Structure formats: structure tokens, C-alpha cells
Amino acid sequence: MSFRPQLHLAVDAMGGDYGPRSTVPASIQFLQQNPQAHITLYLHQSLTGDVDASHPSLTIKPCSSFVSMSDSPSRALRYLKDSTLAMALQSVSSGEAHACVSAGNTGAMVAIARHFWGTFTGLKRPAICKPIPTVEGGHSYMLDLGANVTATPDLLHAFALLGAAVSHCCDQVVSPRVALLNIGDEVIKGHEDVKAAAGLLESDGRLNYIGFVEGDAIYSGMADVIVCDGFAGNIALKVSEGVARMAVRQVNDTFRTSLYGQLLGQFARPVLKKWQRRFDPARYNGASFLGLNHVLVKSHGGADARGFGYALSYAQTMVQQELVPQLRQSMEGCFVS
């Protein structure tokens, strides 16, 4: 009988802005920290000779093509079925790997994963979801973060059910507070799809719907689940990441500009380091596609090796928590096919 590791990750090594420069060192470091794991790197065949594959738990699979960040979902699905992304996804559907991790083209990931894996019965499209930190020290789940640029009221309703199930399965929240992201908290605010979705959520007895939240309340902790379309969610997330990086840089620059600032910085450094760790965007890299029949984790396209390592760890957590089987069972009968 062949040995199957406790965790086997399939990595699209060509995805993202940095490709193998990020994915390869991150994978090797992850294996050094997790000796029970195995990683298969799906790499373009022209680069296999440039990668150190000496780690016993690392396998290199050469592929004849890869999906670029500019490839359309239809092109990726129709013409790039032998790509690094497609082969990594197929290894999961065949049972060889437990999960797939990629920093690549989001649209292509959705199209190919839906083709090979399918979604929960009755669910039309998956959503990108991730935990985000709150000022209270906990986290909320936010979705969709980019899988669907637009979302109908029915789809937003489905995402609310998915988000509530994740909060319950992962954090054992009995009745997760669900909110819709909007430009105001008054019921008359927002476009028609958001207002129609609010009606669906409010009338669904399975949901603890608390109303609208504005962008400045995303990190307040007032909601356990925040629902939005992928356009608004992706912008909100990236603005937050940019503000966090700017704040860290401004604080560091302030302490370096004068002797007094340097002296003050010595006393403040422990507190600042704790704050930086708490809100460091790299630590929260990695988001899961909810509603697919297997674990697919999306890394930020601009993630470096450290950031991609967090995405690998997030995939490990999703597998260990058996999130997909739990969600599928919890969602059974929720969606009308």
C-alpha cells in the first residue's frame, strides 16, 4: 500500500506576479515547518531545471502551459487544460492532493475549478471568503472578495448562508450576525440588488440578519459575516491593505526623523511590533473559494514568499477542519437547483 501524507497540497507554481520566485521558496519553507506534509509543484516545463527539488516531500510536475494574469476565463478553460493551474486542480479531484493553492488569475480559477470540481448542489457560483481582523481581537468573515464582479440578490442570499455556515463550523458561533455591505445603514440606501438582497436575508429565518454595515464598520466586530459582491469586496480589501502598509510606514518614518522620535520609538517598539503583527496584510493572505466541492485557496497575486506561505498554512487549516464536508452537509437543501 502506498503511503499517503497527512496533508498533500497541489501548488500552481506559476501563478501570481512573482511565480516560482514566491511559490517555490514558500513551499520549501512550509515543508520544513510541517514534516508530515507533501507538496506537488506544478511548474512550466521550461523552468523545472531551475528549481531545487531535493526536499524529500517536494515533487515537481512539469506542465506544457500556464495561465497568465491576462488570460480570459474562457481561454483558460478551452485552450489551457494542460496548464499548471488545471493540472493542480485535477490532482485534487482525482484524490491525489487534498487542496490546491494558487496566486493566479481569479477568473480562470473559478472557471476551471467549477468545470473539474463543481459546486454544492443548487449553488450557481462560489465566493471568495476570508477571515478579517476586528478591533475586538477576533475576526469576521467577509465574502465575496472577487470571484463575482456582480451578484444578484439570490446570489448574495446564498453567500450569506455560506458565510453563516462558515462562522458556525469554524468558530462555533451559534447564531452568526450577518450584515450586507452598503453605502449607508439606512434601508433606503444602496442599489436595487443590495436592497432586494436585504429583503431576502431579513425574511430568511435561518439567518440572524442585522442590516447594512458601511465600509468603516468592516473591522468593528459588529457582524460575524459581511456579505457583498466581489467588486465591492475586492476594493474594500485592497484599500484596507494599502492603508495598513501606509500606516506602518508613516509610523516608522515618524520615529526615524528626529532624535526625540528615535528615543520614543525605543519605548514604543514592543507595542508597535504587536500592532504590526496583528494587522500585517501578509498574515491574512489566503482566502478560500466557498461552495466548491474541494479546498481551493487563493493567494494575493502580489504576495511574496512569506505571504504565500501563509496561504499554504490557510489551506492546511481548511483541510484539517474538514471545512468542505462540513459546509456541504450544512448547506444540503439550502439552494434550489
* 1 — pLDDT class (breaks 50, 70, 90): very low
pLDDT of residue 257: 75
Sign of the CA dihedral with 184 first, then 187, 192, and 198 last: positive
Count of domains observed in the chain: 2
**267 and 179 within one domain:** yes
What single-letter DSSP state applies at residue 300? P
Which H, E and C letters describe 14-54, residue by residue?
Answer: CCCCCCHHHHHHHHHHHHHHCCCEEEEEEEEHHHHHHCCCC
The reply to whether 82 and 210 lie within a common domain is no
What's the order of all strands across the beta sheet hosting 208-213?
A: 58-63, 37-44, 7-12, 99-102, 295-298, 287-290, 127-133, 139-143, 225-227, 177-181, 208-213
What 3-state DSSP class applies to 118?
coil
Concatenate the DSSP letters of all residues of 189-228 into one string: -S-HHHHHHHHHHHH-TT-EEEEEE-GGGTTSSS-SEEE-
For 245-284, write each residue's pLDDT tens digit: 787 777 777 767 777 666 666 766 676 667 666 666 677 7
Share of the chain above pLDDT 70, in %: 91
CA distance 252 to 237: 23
SS3 234: helix
Q: Are residues 145 and 234 in the same domain?
A: yes
What average pLDDT does range 90-97 have in this prediction?
Answer: 96
Q: Which carries the bigger pLDDT value, residue 99 or residue 55?
A: 99
Final residue belonging to a domain, choices 269, 285, 301: 285
Q: Residue type at 279? A: F
Q: What angle do CA 27, 28, 33 make, to 5 degrees?
A: 95
User: CA 192, 198, 204, 207 torsion: positive or negative?
Assistant: positive
Distance between CA atoms of residues 299 and 297, nearest Å? 6
For the chain, the maximum distance between any two Cα atoms, rounded to a whole number of angstroms, is 67
Q: Contact at 8 Å (CB) between 219 and 133? A: yes
Residue 5 has pLDDT above 90, yes or no: no
Is beta strand 208-213 parallel, antiparallel or unpaired with respect to 225-227?
A: unpaired
pLDDT in tens, 149-167: 999 999 999 999 999 999 9
Q: Are residues 136 and 249 in the same domain?
A: yes
Q: Are residues 200 and 243 in the same domain?
A: yes
CB 37 within 8 A of CB 316: yes
> Within this chain, do residues 195 and 271 fall inside the same structural domain, yes or no?
yes
Confidence check: pLDDT of 3 > 50: no
Query: What φ, ψ does residue 328 adopt, rounded to 5°?
Result: -60, -45
Question: Could you tell me the residue range of the domain that residue 158 belongs to?
Answer: 127-285
Same domain, 142 and 270: yes
Q: For position 140, which CATH number holds?
A: 3.40.718.10
Mean residue pLDDT of the chain comes to 90
Q: Which three cell numbers stand for residue 326?
A: 462540513
Dump pLDDT digits (tens) for 192-234. Answer: 999 999 999 999 999 999 999 999 999 999 999 999 999 999 9
**Do 131 and 117 share a structural domain?**
no
Do 173 and 270 reside in the same domain of the chain? yes
pTM: 0.88
Please tell me the predicted confidence (pLDDT) of residue 75.
Answer: 94
- As a whole number of angstroms, the distance between CA 145 and CA 225 comes to 13
The C-alpha cell at 246 is: 501606509
101 beta partners = 11, 297
N-term to C-term CA, the chain: 40
273 shares a domain with 157: yes
pLDDT band at residue 332 under the 50/70/90 scheme: confident
How are beta strands 287-290 and 127-133 bridged, if at all? antiparallel
Residues 85 and 20 in one domain: yes
Question: Closest Cα to residue 82, out of 99, 106, 61?
Answer: 61
Query: What was the pLDDT predicted at 46?
Result: 92
- How far apart CA 286 and CA 312 sit, in angstroms, is 8
Q: Who wins on pLDDT, 238 or 297?
A: 297
Rounded to 5 degrees, what are φ and ψ at 219? Answer: -100, 15
| Same domain? 178 vs 245 | yes
Q: Does the pLDDT at position 15 exceed 80?
A: yes
